[in-house]
C-alpha cells in the first residue's frame, strides 16, 4: 500500500503549530507557606502561615490548587 503525497505543500513549507509546553511544566508539589480555610460565607480564603494574614478570597467557588487545608 502506497501513501498519497501531500497535496499543495512540500515538507519545507509545513507550518509549525502552537504546542502545549512540557508535561508538568508548572508548579511541582504543594505551595509552601500558605494554607486555606472556608469562610463563614462558604468561600475559600488563603492565609500566609508566617503572619496569619488573609491573602486572597476565591470568589469563583472551589478551593485553591496546591494549597493545604487548615483543620
What's the whole-model pTM score?
0.59
The predicted model gives 39-43 an average pLDDT of 95
**Beta-carbon count within 10 A of 45 CB:** 17
Q: For the CA atoms of the chain, what is the radius of gyration?
A: 24
| pLDDT at 25 (0 to 100) | 67
User: What does DSSP assign to residue 60?
Assistant: S
Model confidence over 2-38: pLDDT tens digits?
666 656 656 566 667 777 667 766 676 788 999 999 9
The half-sphere exposure of 18 on its side-chain side, counting CA atoms within 13 A, is 0
Per-residue pLDDT at 67 exceeds 80: yes
Amino acid at each position: 500500500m502506497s501513501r498519497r503525497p501531500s497535496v499543495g505543500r512540500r515538507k519545507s513549507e509545513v507550518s509549525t503549530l502552537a504546542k502545549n509546553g512540557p508535561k508538568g511544566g508548572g508548579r511541582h508539589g504543594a505551595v509552601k507557606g500558605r494554607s486555606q480555610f472556608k469562610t463563614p460565607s462558604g468561600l475559600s480564603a488563603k492565609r500566609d502561615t508566617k503572619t496569619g494574614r488573609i491573602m486572597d478570597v476565591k470568589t469563583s467557588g472551589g478551593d485553591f490548587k496546591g494549597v493545604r487545608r487548615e483543620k
